[in-house]
Amino acid sequence: MTTRTSPRARHHWVVRLTHWINAVAFTIMVGSGLRIFNAHPSFARIGETFRLNPWEGKHIPAWLTFGGWLGGARHWHFAMMWVLVTTGIVYVGFIYLHGEWRDLVPRKGDWRDAIEMIRFYTYARKHHPHQGKHNALQKATYFVMPFVAAMIVITGIAIWKPVTLGWLTGMLGGYVWARFLHFSAMLILVALSAVHVFMVISVDPYSLRSMITGGHSDRFSPEARNARPFQGLLPKPDAPAIVATESHS
């Protein structure tokens, strides 16, 4: 069998580094944020109610929080905020300058491809649709994530400095709504991240190698394995062995 080798890694080291830093920082930020929320587990002011939250006044389970106490959680939360903002700027700037944005930006036909992926995952289609570096559902998720993260940062700053940045807090509907939007955006990003982790574990565990070392083989791609969640995890014997060398660039 002929093996064709490419000198480039699947993921540049900048993408890999910012990915793992963000994964750790985001986990700490969510846990510390939930601990801060527990200090006043309500979006409404004291004595008022907020109808959009059916769990108004209910505390988040302590095992889901991080920081130990309110002061400690605030220190961790703000520290991770700067880490996420910095790595986010580095990541977005890099994919723009390096041209990797082309793998993520929506294109004509992505809706059709996304529907075909859904049909495949729901067994309405027998064979995995053809895809590039990412399938249409992945592209949509990765494209949306930075915008949700930006909303978290904007709303977070608004509730951090509601007096100094009163104009921003006001644009978001006031402190109560800014806090609600901050929490809601966090839940959306957590949900997207949870789906991402689930799909990596159940469909494409081989992608972990790509995100750690950059190495990749098309023989292990979901398309070559015709992989659905927890099905087709092993590569087919006759699948092509087209590899990208492990690299730090």
Domain with residue 109: its CATH number is: 1.20.950.20
- Residue 247, domain member (yes or no): no
- Residue 10, domain member (yes or no): no
- Residue 222, domain member (yes or no): no
Series of mean pLDDT values for 10-residue runs along the chain (249 residues): 52 94 96 95 84 86 94 95 94 91 87 95 94 90 93 95 95 95 96 95 93 88 93 75 44
The DSSP H or E segment spanning 6 is: strand 5-6
- Residue 241, domain member (yes or no): no
The b-or-e profile of 176-212 (16+ CB within 10 A means b, else e) is: bbbbbbbbbbbebbeebbeeeeebeeebbebbeebbe
- Residue 6, domain member (yes or no): no
pLDDT at res. 239: 52
Q: Report helix, strand and coil shares of the chain as percent, to nearest 5.
A: 60, 5, 40
- Residue 238, domain member (yes or no): no
pLDDT at res. 238: 61
94: tokens are: 């890099």
Q: Which structural domain range is residue 68 located in?
A: 15-213
Residue 100: CB atoms within 10 A of its CB come to 16
Indicate the pTM of the whole model.
0.86
Give Cα separations from 203 to 22, 140, 234 (angstroms): 22, 17, 10
Write phi, then psi, for 6 (nearest 5 degrees): -110, 140
Distance CA(223)–CA(216), nearest Å, equals 14
- Residue 232, domain member (yes or no): no
DSSP code string of 114-132: HHHHHHHHTTSSSSPPP-S
Give Cα separations from 160 to 27, 74, 163 (angstroms): 20, 10, 9
Distance CA(76)–CA(67), nearest Å, equals 7
Q: Give the count of domains, the chain.
A: 1
pLDDT at res. 113: 94
- Residue 226, domain member (yes or no): no
